[in-house]
Structure 1
Amino acid sequence: MNPHRRFGTGLAGCLITVALLVSACGNDPTTQGSGSAPGPSPSAQTPAQPTTSPQPTTSPEPATSPQPTTSPEPATSPQPATGPSEPITSSEPGVEPSQPGTGGQEQVESGSLRFQDCGEMYLCASLEVPADHRNPDAGTVTLELGMLPARDREQRIGVLLVNPGGPGGDMNSFLDYNAGLSRRLLERFDVVGWNPRGVMGSVPHGCSDETNRFMLVDPLPDSPQEQSALDEAARTAAEACLEGLGKYAGLIGTTHTVADMDSIRQALGEETISYFGFSYGAQLGLLYADRYGTNLRAIVLDGPTDPTLEPIEMGVGQLRGFARVIADLFDTCRRDSDCPVPGDPETAYENLMAQVEVTPLRDSNGDVLVGPAEVELALTTAAYDPYLWSSFYRGLASALRGDGEMLNDMAMWYLEGSDSGSFVSIGCADSGPLTRDDLQDAMVRFGEVAGDFGRSAIQSALPCLHWPETDPLPGGPIRAPDTPSVLVLGNRGDNATPYEWAAAVAEMLEHGTLLTYNGKGHLSYGRSRCVDEVVDDYLIDLVLPTGNQECD
């Protein structure tokens, strides 16, 4: 990587595939110590980069170009800070904080499932589903499920199935924080989450160590030795994931998970369910609405992807979204006299990248704390939520003084708060095997949008060069004519799932309503009381605004 590289339009942009978790509450990574996992969990935006490695779609034509990717999304959204140099101390506005838990219930029977105390903040169950829904003779796989029982059993409406994003977002930390939902929803619904195929104990991959190591290799090699190191790390990661998944490597993609969602509904004994999906979880919901619309009572999609876009175009859209947010991040520091970054923050960032390319920051044992990959991951983390900008500013200023602890904390929080093994595995299963030509084409386009930073994004798809043939995730418009109504949330300041995608999805759906949040950060629910009230009213009373609505 050229130590003096510059990024398109002078910005550092980071492509993250759709992922993410629900922005409701969380922890500041710089207050937890290196490697601490985040609290709750909306991206992604994700190592093997299918731009939505997540890419919703259901039409018969498979996508043929690579799905962009760079790294998985952090598992949760942070709490707000009051200024660029102050610690994060309070929860975000919007969703009212609520104690996680099961409401004192130790067991709930639901259909054929028995949810029981498992030592977590939620009740646990498991469900066997067909390994291949198209081939009943292919055996079964087991999915992990969790439930937050409705707290007001007499006023219980039914089941609200939820997914935090990803691909690779797990239910565990998500349900530990009540899925970021309001008290109103927790009182009226049995909130059910699950670990999709390829996540945690549901068809485990066992390759997170290898994919994390891959993600910490310099993504823009500028010598044969660096290229060889990147290629070897990608190959090792792919082989570890394929070995862990075994015969299920081609059966963990998004289309199989969508079919599992209806198996969960049936096992719960529910004629219809409500659904709330965030980021990649919104993609799952969109596909479910298209295939199983009559089985839905209500559905909310927060930060969906546009299924009509080719994978490369989706990657370009994400890079533009990140570029807008990162420009704002640097401008905010410029305008704040208390910002601790010396001089121009963008120039300071570029200077640090040049420095650690040549001389990485190390700890007292000589281990690398901060190299090019860690700096980009820290910026990626900050791009998901303005409440993390102050942490990034402090980390950048400290790194320029030779102390890489804070930026390393942010990078590790990102990696350990998401599952790069799941992201790689599900992303490659959705894209199928890629070729060098595929990656080169994407690299050219991403470089046009965001310079070297854009080019580094596509390197996350390198493990897919070693993936076997799969059924690629198809693409095309989705109308979901059998779904009664779909509430689509779009945040004008979203980095990973740009607002334009939500507007396009609401427009193409036969019964879509768009709720616009004029804010910042990834996703909308939990950031604005106006948004939360519209969503809660719809899920509880099936009341939608007349026409599209905007919230501040």
Structure 2
Amino acid sequence: MLARRVIAAGATTALALIGPAAVTEAAEPDPDLGRFYQQRIGWEPCKPTEGQTGELLDSVRDMECGTLSVPIDYADPRKGAIALAVSRFKTQASGKDRKGSVVFNFGGPGESGVDGLAAFRDEAAQIAKHYDLVSFDPRGVARSSPVHCGGEDKTKQLKGEGPSPPDTGAAAVDEAKRIAAECHDKTGPLLDHVGTINASRDMDVLRQALGDHKLNYLGISYGTRLGAVYASQFPNKTGRMVLDAVDTLQASAKQDVLAQTKGLQQALDAFFVACAQQNCELGTSPQEVRASFDQAVVKLADGRTVTAADSEQFSGADLQSAVRTALYSQASWPVLSSGIAALLQESDPSVLISLNGAMDETAAGNSDEALLAVNCADDPERPADPVKEFDTVRSQLAAESPYFGPNAAGRAVACAGWPAGTDYIRRINHPGAPKILVVGGKGDPATPYVWAEDTAKRLGSGVLLTYEGEGHGAYTASQCVRTKADAFFATGALPKEGTSCPAEVPAE
């Protein structure tokens, strides 16, 4: 998924501890952390959660779950500990064929790794021939002491993904400050320690608990930021690492939302072209498809809704959510065109509702709240005048995309009211880790290709593999990319620098 992001006197002080001195690698763990590095995970069968059905339910029943204890504050382990939820599929390999574990992070920040792993088992079947497949809910996420900020609806509204996003800079900044205060009040001391710096250190404790000398890792979207931070903090503990759909290490919140809005609009334009080429229900030319899409937008404009069979109301914000979800995977484009056609011809939103529902089946709670907390902890910049920043960004976003842009300006000021985060991630540059496979997609709507190019350079050891097609994340979209990544995990063999994989159009 998209790479997603107190107000007490002590908050600034606590975050200040997450600086260069707190994140340098030690060849041996700090003695005060010994009890964490000496633990082993007690694995038990996972318990399915409500809403998990079919193949996903079968997958959960085959998965093992456990917990990992980590300190709230690595600078002072005496402040207490939290338990992280972890999961694994154990490999059937033995002897020389067994190579340890591969740890996964599927994005966010804020997505549940436990749920994500259950849904990812088939895609990782080749990796599972040699490795245990392992993931975890990072600190502050889902089952791992979740961050709470007064409800997902509030943070979605601020990002422009709800029915009533802030329409002025003053309203956006006031709401951001209210959410920040509520995050602090409802989450408590952990909020000062939820950023990627600490999640990376948790991952090193996990590596040791799994019995691996080095961390083998596959990160997607935000998971690439987490992987890059680990490679910088622990270069000598970094094993075979693949970073796919690469999140930025450098962009400000303003640059981030502008780049992603531009990417979404480019993906929407590509959808219009692809739909027309396939003589879809919406038209036989890109112009006709666009006109049909615009009719659907108008149908739900100004607060209008349509009623689903179960009496659920479907709004313009719901339509935009379904469109955004579909643009992440080209395999969903036929579903999107069918859904828009049904909405126009029969006022039936059920197909579009199914697109939004597909994201909910594996969800475990607080992804938007955790996204906000992690991104604010990772971002050292705060606009000097956030109200002016909102107004400026809003006009720029509208120019990039009249559909996605106007409501998204709140993302540029979402950290108003939070103390400045660490600048460590911005300073990552040639950390000395071994070769890392960095995968960038030319048509990625959420993480622009230039971010993959930049991260490969900043890691120093990054080998860039280019996917020429559409969608967010190439490992699942491209057999070519998947084959090369699987070969790297199996043998250590990397593609040559400059290798690209052609676009693959999903079969209908």
Deviates more, 1:271-280 or 1:518-527: 518-527
Cα gap change, 1:367 to 1:341, in 2 (>3 Å): farther
Partner residue of 2:136 out of 155, 175, 194 = 194
- Tell me, in whole angstroms, the C-alpha distance in 1 between the residues paired with 2:334 and 2:432: 46
1:214-363 to 2 correspondences below 5 Å: 214=157, 215-219=161-165, 221=167, 241-340=183-282, 344-358=288-302, 360-363=304-307
Deviations 1:482-516 (A, max 9, x none): 21111111112211112222122223332221111
- Per the alignment, residue 403 of structure 1 pairs with 348
Aligned 8 A contact 1:210 1:240 in 2: no
Partner residue of 1:161 out of 68, 88, 103 = 103
- Per the alignment, residue 8 of structure 2 pairs with none
Structure 1 residue runs of 5 or longer lacking an equivalent are 1-19, 21-43, 48-57, 61-109
Cα gap change, 1:363 to 1:475, in 2 (>3 Å): same
Is 1:545 the counterpart of 2:485? The answer is: no
Under a length normalisation based on structure 2, what TM-score does the superposition of the two structures give?
0.78
Cα gap change, 1:209 to 1:547, in 2 (>3 Å): closer
Q: In structure 1, what residue type is equivalent to 2:473?
A: L
Cα gap change, 1:513 to 1:367, in 2 (>3 Å): same
- Tell me, in whole angstroms, the C-alpha distance in 2 between the residues paired with 1:322 and 1:346: 15
Aligned 8 A contact 1:293 1:480 in 2: no
Task: Give the drift of 1:231.
Answer: 8.2
- State the number of aligned residues: 446
| Backbone CA RMSD of aligned residues | 3.2
- Tell me, in whole angstroms, the C-alpha distance in 2 between the residues paired with 1:421 and 1:240: 11
- Per the alignment, residue 378 of structure 2 pairs with 430
Aligned 8 A contact 2:153 2:162 in 1: no
Relative contact order higher in (CA < 8 Å, ≥ 6 apart):
1
- Tell me, in whole angstroms, the C-alpha distance in 1 between the residues paired with 2:228 and 2:85: 22
- Per the alignment, residue 114 of structure 1 pairs with 42
Q: In structure 2, what residue type is equivalent to 1:478?
A: I
Is 1:385 the counterpart of 2:329? The answer is: yes
Cα gap change, 1:440 to 1:275, in 2 (>3 Å): same
Task: Give the drift of 1:295.
Answer: 0.2
Cα gap change, 1:411 to 1:238, in 2 (>3 Å): farther
Task: Give the drift of 1:212.
Answer: 7.2
Cα gap change, 1:427 to 1:309, in 2 (>3 Å): closer
Greater helix proportion: 2
- SS state of the match for residue 353, structure 2? helix
- Per the alignment, residue 131 of structure 1 pairs with 72
Deviates more, 1:363-372 or 1:440-449: 363-372
Aligned 8 A contact 1:360 1:369 in 2: no
Cα gap change, 1:358 to 1:505, in 2 (>3 Å): closer
- Tell me, in whole angstroms, the C-alpha distance in 1 between the residues paired with 2:455 and 2:156: 36
Aligned 8 A contact 1:250 1:470 in 2: no
Instruction: Tell me the percent identity.
Output: 24
Deviations 1:410-432 (A, max 9, x none): 34544665532322332344347
- Tell me, in whole angstroms, the C-alpha distance in 2 between the residues paired with 1:306 and 1:159: 26
- SS state of the match for residue 444, structure 2? coil
Is 1:517 the counterpart of 2:467? The answer is: yes
Task: Give the drift of 1:257.
Answer: 0.9
Task: Give the drift of 1:221.
Answer: 4.3
Cα gap change, 1:504 to 1:169, in 2 (>3 Å): same
Is 1:440 the counterpart of 2:391? The answer is: yes
Aligned 8 A contact 2:253 2:413 in 1: no
Q: In structure 1, what residue type is equivalent to 2:468?
A: N
Q: In structure 1, what residue type is equivalent to 2:165?
A: P
Task: Give the drift of 1:200.
Answer: 0.9
Cα gap change, 1:494 to 1:192, in 2 (>3 Å): same
Task: Give the drift of 1:359.
Answer: 5.2
Aligned 8 A contact 1:111 1:270 in 2: no
Q: In structure 2, what residue type is equivalent to 1:128?
A: S
- Per the alignment, residue 105 of structure 1 pairs with none
- Per the alignment, residue 407 of structure 2 pairs with 456
Cα gap change, 1:537 to 1:139, in 2 (>3 Å): same
Cα gap change, 1:538 to 1:277, in 2 (>3 Å): same
Deviations 1:375-405 (A, max 9, x none): 2111111110111111211221222242233
Deviates more, 1:530-539 or 1:340-349: 340-349
Cα gap change, 1:180 to 1:498, in 2 (>3 Å): farther
Aligned 8 A contact 1:370 1:407 in 2: no
Task: Give the drift of 1:525.
Answer: 0.9
- Tell me, in whole angstroms, the C-alpha distance in 2 between the residues paired with 1:282 and 1:356: 36
- Per the alignment, residue 152 of structure 1 pairs with 93
- Tell me, in whole angstroms, the C-alpha distance in 2 between the residues paired with 1:266 and 1:515: 30
Is 1:496 the counterpart of 2:424? The answer is: no
Under a length normalisation based on structure 1, what TM-score does the superposition of the two structures give?
0.73
Deviations 1:38-63 (A, max 9, x none): xxxxxx1447xxxxxxxxxx997xxx
